Structures are given as structure tokens and as C-alpha cells.
Amino acid sequence: MRILITGGHGQVGQALVAELQSQHSIVAPDRSTIDIGNTGATQQIIELKPDLVIHAAAFTNVDACAREPDRALLINGLGTKHVALACHRLGIPMVYISTNEVFDGEAQRPYLEFDVTRPINPYAYSKWVGEQVVQQLVSSFYIVRVAWVFGGSRNFVRTMLRLGQERQELAVVDDELGNPTYAPDIAAAIRQLIKHPAYGVYHFVNEGYCSRYDFAREIFQRSGLTRIVVDPIKLADYQRDSTPPRYGVLRNFVGATDLGIRLRPWQDALQVFLEEIQSGSAR
């Protein structure tokens, strides 16, 4: 298949290119070639004649989205509409990478693919708008929600490793929960998913979940950074521009039950990423 990947230079995009390039012909234009926020992006995608589009590009800095909600809506909402329109006109399937943040975080159990969404911040709202336009315009869509992605050069793991070198003590939130998820595991799951015309909503997260505090401690412990003292603090006491869902935990029910697509436990994936960083082979 000829697959067009938007955001192909981002964390998930790079992992997708690496995972799919041996079996498929990949086109991964960067933002300077196709800016999805431009109306002309639709025609540019059509002219590249893909058989499938994986839309991973997004304005992903959640705090910046809170400061610039219209820009978030332009790139993540309208930008997704521009991509979806191209898929609609070409009559091809589309994979839209979405987020755990489409939920409000008030649930008492991990969110299933069928649960009602209610975004509570501008980033989440813009990604939710993306989900709506995909469902309205593309008949053969896969919406793949992911969470707490690590695997590239900018993510929570990298930040903790840097702070772990620089500081003696660090305060980390212990009442925000999610599923740490390794970008190459998302890519491997999507490679399996697109073999099936089983369109719909999926939650592709590594197995298990934790708080940011637990995640930080696991990173430090597995990297031998045991000197640093990690203090638990509450989300309400952490000043930032965006408010994440407190309980942003997803459960991969549909992919696992229907198609046998399961992602390994997050601790195992973290170990692989840390070893890649250590050996210098991480992206």
C-alpha cells in the first residue's frame, strides 16, 4: 500500500515510518511541505494519491494549546478536517491518532472505546473536534487513542532523565493517572490494525497504568538515578496552563478482544526505551 503519514517527523510518526517502511511505500511530508492547517492541504494530499492516510500530525504542546486555543482548533480540528476531506474524496481509509484527553477523567474505571467523551481543556477539545470531523467525513476510519507517549526526543521520560541529572529533589504529581505508552508499540499495533477492515475506535496503550509520580520513580529506579528525592504533590498545587484529566486511563478492549492486538506492560516498554537511550540507538 501507498501510505501517507502526517507528522512523520514526530514521535509516533517516526515510529510509524520505521515500522511500515519495509512492507509499504511511505510518503511522510513534513510541515514545510504540507501544513495541515492550510485549506490547500486537502488538494496536496489528493495529488499524492495515497491508499491510506495515517494522520499523526498535531499541535501537541498541551500548555501552549491552552494559551492559544484558536491555533489548537485550527491545527488539530480544522487541520484534521482538511486531511479527512482528502480521504473522503479519494474514498480511502484514514487512521486518526487521538488522545486519552478526550475524556474528562471523572471515571471510576479505565475508559473503554465506547465511553462518552467530554474534553476539559483546549488541546482535548481540539483533538475531540478532530474525532468528530473524521467520523462525519470518512466512512472507513480508525480512531486510535493513545496516551502519555514516549519514544522520541521530547517526552516525560527524557525530561525526568534530564532533571534527574540536574537536581537533588523533584516534585511530581501523584493524582494524575494514565498509561505510559511506547511509540514503537503504537506503530506495531497500527501495522496489525490496518490489515483488517475493522473500522472504528481503538485504545492502543501499553498494559497497566500509573501516576506521574509512579512513572517518575520507575524511570529513576531503572536508570540507576536513585540519589534523587521525588516528592508527591497534587495536581491542584502544580501551576500549569492546561488542566489534564485526573484519571486519563484507557483500556484496550476492542483491539485486544476482536483482533488480538495487545501492547506489552508499560514497564517492559520503558525498559526497552531506557536501554535504547543508553546504547545511543533511541530516536
Ligand X SMILES: NC(=O)c1ccc[n+]([C@@H]2O[C@H](COP(=O)([O-])OP(=O)(O)OC[C@H]3O[C@@H](n4cnc5c(N)ncnc54)[C@H](OP(=O)(O)O)[C@@H]3O)[C@@H](O)[C@H]2O)c1
Cα separation, 252 vs 116, whole angstroms: 16
163 binds ligand X per the rule CB under 6 A: no
Q: Is 228 exposed, middle or buried (0-12, 13-18, 19+ CB in 10 A)?
A: middle
68 binds ligand X per the rule CB under 6 A: no
The contacts of residue 14 (CB under 8 Å, 6+ apart) are: 8, 152, 183, 283
Contact with ligand X (CB under 6 A): which of 58, 137, 230, 254? 58
Q: Would residue 123 show up in a list of annotated catalytic residues for this protein?
A: yes
In single-letter form, the type of residue at position 150 comes to F
134 binds ligand X per the rule CB under 6 A: no
Cα separation, 205 vs 180, whole angstroms: 7
CA angle 211, 213, 215 (to 5 degrees): 70
146 binds ligand X per the rule CB under 6 A: yes
Give the bridge partners for 143, in sequence order: 96, 201
12 binds ligand X per the rule CB under 6 A: yes
Between 217 and 256, how does the x/- string for binding to ligand X read (CB under 6 A)? ----------------------------------------
Contact with ligand X (CB under 6 A): which of 5, 52, 72, 75? 75
Decide: 113 and 203 in contact? Cβ < 8 Å.
yes
Contact with ligand X (CB under 6 A): which of 20, 52, 99, 164? 99
60 binds ligand X per the rule CB under 6 A: yes
Contact with ligand X (CB under 6 A): which of 18, 37, 117, 191? 37
Hey, which residues are catalytic here? 123
Residues lying near ligand X in the complex (CB under 6 A) are found at 6-7, 9-13, 30-31, 35-37, 56-60, 75, 79, 97, 99, 127, 146-149, 152
